[in-house]
Chain A
């Protein structure tokens, strides 16, 4: 049973680099709450990426702690109170950094696979 926790942890770990990057990217379009981020990632990935709540919130809180994102309570258009996150300057730098790393890696993996 403790395995469930480990599964979560593994998933976070697998996605860690990419999830952070994807969340930061999503926040580039404007402040967003957790549910909004999930929905945005799903639509923009063509319904391929489904982010688990158990991965998203730990990631959000961790990034908040790293000061990559900042949070505040706001009311949505549907008049729902929600916690909105926005990327900080540091978060944007992190995104650029992550992205260049990601592109290098994709290129490297691609060149191996295509050889």
Chain B
């Protein structure tokens, strides 16, 4: 039997079969002597309701559902054509909700649930040593991690790595390429479970002193291989130059492989760690490594943590220096995945995801309300279908198909919106947030989107359909017309839904208001320095060129002199990191005057003070009398003074104290206290900081190497930024070609960027809050407009009986006011309850800030009343004669 034959063919077959039956019945009767007409009438009478017979027959094929689905879809499309405004409203509303949710989901998925390019990444952990206070963690010296490797039973394998210091340049076929370089232990790739795509990579060899098999070899990332060597398949075995040192290429990793995840946008390279003299001890000079390990199958993170705690007790006891012993007393074992996500960003994204979810809910409620109103208007149609024999299930199915078609269109539109929104988000997201917005909606997202769509279809179509279907048929048919009672219950339900919408919108508006106030407050925090007319270049320094030279004398000083001579430059200065730059961090840990001191270390040239307009709270800043040969000088900040000044009330008591020795026999003495509050973030006070004079940083000095690795050039100029930047870039290129890669910004922009997650959240919430307000107003308007149309006759009657038009206006407005008021009251409650979610991002304003709450409530209430006014006016203008006659 031909079960899979086309439905159309089978349908024609059945028609023909029944027709032949009829013909034979007629032919028989004619043969018995009846006339043709009599025979036909009798045969038809005997055979009964043929379409129904066919229908029932077709049901036995199990195909009918498909046929009906087709009918329903066609019917829905007809409905949409007939009432395009309604369809557009529903589709637009849902698309907005779905789009917002999908966009946020894409970003969150990408950031939080990002799949790492390693095998079984869930088993990878990072191990860090830290103090008992569990605030700061440090990388690990070789002697410690060698003991971990020997003694642990929790890990399958343990590997370690360290980022190459300074900027790393790889000489490619045509030009030098800035790459992210990492020195790794030979087993790292094997532990990550990734094999090279070309070559054999690093050779297995027990790590330790004298391990040489991998010395001088380099592994390239796919991106580097392609951009620097044009994807040359014969690259393995060739010698390439990294920072001007020769390395032999041992392999190319597969595309998409990265380690560490967030280093080197242009591509990465890896060389083998060679242990040396600095790896033999546990002191301040020791090399420290990032340690990764793979948990054995079946070993829990807690078990591994507990084992490491036991091991570390023995390890820490071997530290000679008491302070270091404290700093390395515990081991933190953290999943690598978790360690990658900034808690701040995570919180911001989750909060925004819930905001998008709320917007989606509002959209769904709005659409439910619209469909509900329409299903009431269609009560007569539904009753008629029932009367004509449609079963309840059949009517339900049709309504659900309508919902599905509408939300299907909305999903397509919403996906488009989501893509647009992601691009928009990418544009406002600050760079240092380290969130990659260049994502496309992928399969997971589409699946989630389909889920959302189905859910919203069922939500918004099934419910009104259920109510419509339950309604008894007779009264709807008997009363006829639109005036047929929508019933108190339905009205209350719809008013309730509007109130829910209002409440949720208010929550979003309040969150938005709070963040806008936060941004406003942040912009008006007194920074303690000027930010106008300053161009900042974060220098991309080819450190390798200056290995055996005095970089201060050969690069920095000449650069500064040339920059100062540039046309339109009022002052030029160098500083390790401009305030709020977030590009560089060196912590100094030492003893001064009997105190243990922890402070950030920076170096700067004298002109930095006039450029930024830093005030001196005591003493003086560096000046041109400070030279490499004069007495060592240092400047500290108020945070330093508050913690370490011998006399807390007199900053001058710090002056003349020795911070530490710049070189042997050259003590750096404090000569001033610089007011540089807000150096890391606008919403947090500064940490203690020590600045030393750039010209006094010379080779052989204690901090020469780390501190000359990073430098910002700051220039004060009245000329337009766009004009200055190319000139500055040229100047940098002349000093060294790699410097042309430096990134430029203005100080104003850096301040703006530092608002980071708050700014991102505020921008998105502006969109979400605005959309919510719009939906809410549209929902209210739609409902009232509908109610007024339904009550036209009642209004006419009231006027005919002597009601004043103002009374009618008041009647509708009162109804709107009640809904709004209820919504606002619930919304205030919701906003207070959800304050916890946003509290972390607020600055200078409380989560339950009365002004913001009141402002949002008033805004919502007034917009709502405005939306209600239009239908109310229409109600008041009803012409009693027409209204009564129209029935």
Report which A residues bind B (CB closer than 8 A): 1-2, 4-5, 8-9, 12, 33-36, 38-39, 50, 52-54, 57-58, 60-62, 64-65, 67, 70-71, 76, 78, 80-83
CB-nearest residue of chain A to B54: A57
**How far is the CB of B47 from the nearest CB of chain A, in Å?**
4
Contact of B48 among A2, A54, A58, A80 (CB under 8 A): A54
Nearest first, the 7 closest Cβ-Cβ pairs linking A and B are A54-B53, A35-B24, A53-B47, A57-B57, A1-B389, A62-B60, A35-B21
Which residues of chain B are within 8 angstroms of A35 by Cβ–Cβ distance?
20-21, 24-25
Contacts A2-B391, A53-B53 given; does A65 touch B24 at CB 8 Å: no
Question: Do residues A5 and B20 form an inter-chain contact, with CB atoms below 8 A?
Answer: no
In whole angstroms, what is the CA distance A39 to B48 when docked? 16
Q: Does B50 contact A (CB under 8 A)?
A: yes
In whole angstroms, what is the CA distance A83 to B17 when docked? 6
CB-nearest residue of chain B to A62: B60
Question: Do residues A61 and B57 form an inter-chain contact, with CB atoms below 8 A?
Answer: yes
- Most chain A CB within 10 A, of B21, B27, B54, B388, is at B21
Render B18-52 as a binary contact track against A, CB cut-off 8 A, 1 for contact. 10110111011000000000000000001111101
**How far is the CB of B60 from the nearest CB of chain A, in Å?**
4
Q: Does B61 contact A (CB under 8 A)?
A: yes
Question: Do residues B17 and A4 form an inter-chain contact, with CB atoms below 8 A?
Answer: no
Q: What 15 additional pairs, Cβ within 8 angstroms, besides A4-B389, A5-B389, A53-B47?
A: A5-B55, A12-B56, A52-B53, A53-B48, A57-B14, A57-B53, A58-B56, A60-B57, A61-B60, A65-B61, A71-B1, A81-B20, A82-B20, A82-B24, A83-B13
Q: Does B650 contact A (CB under 8 A)?
A: no
In whole angstroms, what is the CA distance A5 to B394 when docked? 14
- Most chain A CB within 10 A, of B16, B24, B50, B61, is at B24
Question: Do residues B48 and A65 form an inter-chain contact, with CB atoms below 8 A?
Answer: no
**How far is the CB of B597 from the nearest CB of chain A, in Å?**
89
Which residues of chain B are within 8 angstroms of A62 by Cβ–Cβ distance?
60
Q: Does B727 contact A (CB under 8 A)?
A: no
Q: Does B387 contact A (CB under 8 A)?
A: yes
Interface of B is mostly: helix
Question: Do residues B3 and A65 form an inter-chain contact, with CB atoms below 8 A?
Answer: yes
- The number of A-B residue pairs with CB atoms under 8 Å apart is 89
Contact of B50 among A53, A60, A82 (CB under 8 A): A53
Which residues of chain A are within 8 angstroms of B57 by Cβ–Cβ distance?
57-58, 60-61
Which residues of chain A are within 8 angstroms of B561 by Cβ–Cβ distance?
none
Question: Do residues A8 and B56 form an inter-chain contact, with CB atoms below 8 A?
Answer: yes
CB-nearest residue of chain A to B21: A35
Question: Do residues A2 and B17 form an inter-chain contact, with CB atoms below 8 A?
Answer: no
Question: Do residues B61 and A5 form an inter-chain contact, with CB atoms below 8 A?
Answer: no
12 A/B residue pairs, CB under 8 Å, sorted by A: A2-B390, A4-B52, A9-B56, A35-B24, A52-B48, A52-B53, A54-B49, A57-B53, A57-B54, A61-B14, A64-B1, A80-B24
In whole angstroms, what is the CA distance A34 to B391 when docked? 30
In whole angstroms, what is the CA distance A33 to B22 when docked? 12
**From residue 48 to 85 of chain B, which have CB atoms closer than 8 A to chain A?**
48-50, 52-57, 59-61
Which residues of chain A are within 8 angstroms of B28 by Cβ–Cβ distance?
39
Which residues of chain B are within 8 angstroms of A12 by Cβ–Cβ distance?
56
**How far is the CB of B50 from the nearest CB of chain A, in Å?**
7
Contact of A65 among B13, B20, B60 (CB under 8 A): B60
In whole angstroms, what is the CA distance A67 to B24 when docked? 26
In whole angstroms, what is the CA distance A65 to B55 when docked? 16
- Most chain A CB within 10 A, of B13, B50, B56, B59, is at B56
Which residues of chain B are within 8 angstroms of A1 by Cβ–Cβ distance?
387-389
Which residues of chain A are within 8 angstroms of B21 by Cβ–Cβ distance?
33-35, 38, 53, 82
Question: Do residues A76 and B60 form an inter-chain contact, with CB atoms below 8 A?
Answer: no
Question: Do residues A67 and B1 form an inter-chain contact, with CB atoms below 8 A?
Answer: yes
Question: Do residues B388 and A83 form an inter-chain contact, with CB atoms below 8 A?
Answer: no
**From residue 385 to 403 of chain B, which have CB atoms closer than 8 A to chain A?**
387-391
CB-nearest residue of chain A to B61: A61
Contact of A80 among B3, B27, B387, B389 (CB under 8 A): B27
**How far is the CB of B174 from the nearest CB of chain A, in Å?**
72
Which residues of chain B are within 8 angstroms of A80 by Cβ–Cβ distance?
20, 23-24, 27
Which residues of chain A are within 8 angstroms of B59 by Cβ–Cβ distance?
58
In whole angstroms, what is the CA distance A76 to B50 when docked? 23
**How far is the CB of B545 from the nearest CB of chain A, in Å?**
84
Contacts A2-B391, A80-B23, A82-B20 given; does A54 touch B52 at CB 8 Å: yes
Which residues of chain A are within 8 angstroms of B14 by Cβ–Cβ distance?
57, 61
**How far is the CB of A42 from the nearest CB of chain B, in Å?**
11
**From residue 364 to 421 of chain B, which have CB atoms closer than 8 A to chain A?**
387-391
In whole angstroms, what is the CA distance A52 to B388 when docked? 23
**How far is the CB of B180 from the nearest CB of chain A, in Å?**
67
Which residues of chain B are within 8 angstroms of A33 by Cβ–Cβ distance?
17, 20-21, 24
CB-nearest residue of chain A to B50: A53
In whole angstroms, what is the CA distance A82 to B389 when docked? 32
- Most chain A CB within 10 A, of B20, B50, B52, B54, is at B20
In whole angstroms, what is the CA distance A4 to B57 when docked? 15
Which residues of chain A are within 8 angstroms of B47 by Cβ–Cβ distance?
53
Contact of B49 among A4, A60, A81 (CB under 8 A): A4
In whole angstroms, what is the CA distance A106 to B579 when docked? 102
Which residues of chain A are within 8 angstroms of B61 by Cβ–Cβ distance?
61, 65
In whole angstroms, what is the CA distance A58 to B16 when docked? 15
**How far is the CB of A78 from the nearest CB of chain B, in Å?**
6
**How far is the CB of B98 from the nearest CB of chain A, in Å?**
38
In whole angstroms, what is the CA distance A18 to B21 when docked? 22
Which residues of chain A are within 8 angstroms of B390 by Cβ–Cβ distance?
2
In whole angstroms, what is the CA distance A71 to B53 when docked? 19
CB-nearest residue of chain B to A60: B57
Contact of A5 among B3, B16, B52, B387 (CB under 8 A): B52
Which residues of chain B are within 8 angstroms of A78 by Cβ–Cβ distance?
24, 27
Which residues of chain A are within 8 angstroms of B55 by Cβ–Cβ distance?
5
In whole angstroms, what is the CA distance A100 to B604 when docked? 107
In whole angstroms, what is the CA distance A53 to B268 when docked? 79
Question: Do residues B20 and A57 form an inter-chain contact, with CB atoms below 8 A?
Answer: no
In whole angstroms, what is the CA distance A4 to B52 when docked? 9
Contact of B17 among A34, A50, A54, A67 (CB under 8 A): A34
Contacts A2-B389, A61-B57, A65-B61 given; does A8 touch B52 at CB 8 Å: yes
- Most chain B CB within 10 A, of A5, A33, A61, A78, is at A61
In whole angstroms, what is the CA distance A76 to B60 when docked? 26
In whole angstroms, what is the CA distance A65 to B59 when docked? 12
CB-nearest residue of chain B to A63: B60
**How far is the CB of A105 from the nearest CB of chain B, in Å?**
25
- Most chain B CB within 10 A, of A2, A64, A81, is at A2
**How far is the CB of A82 from the nearest CB of chain B, in Å?**
5
In whole angstroms, what is the CA distance A9 to B47 when docked? 16
In whole angstroms, what is the CA distance A70 to B23 when docked? 22
Which residues of chain B are within 8 angstroms of A50 by Cβ–Cβ distance?
46
In whole angstroms, what is the CA distance A53 to B60 when docked? 15
Which residues of chain B are within 8 angstroms of A2 by Cβ–Cβ distance?
389-391
Question: Do residues A65 and B1 form an inter-chain contact, with CB atoms below 8 A?
Answer: yes
CB-nearest residue of chain B to A54: B53
In whole angstroms, what is the CA distance A71 to B57 when docked? 15
In whole angstroms, what is the CA distance A85 to B389 when docked? 33
In whole angstroms, what is the CA distance A30 to B25 when docked? 20
In whole angstroms, what is the CA distance A83 to B23 when docked? 13
Which residues of chain A are within 8 angstroms of B17 by Cβ–Cβ distance?
33-34, 57, 82-83
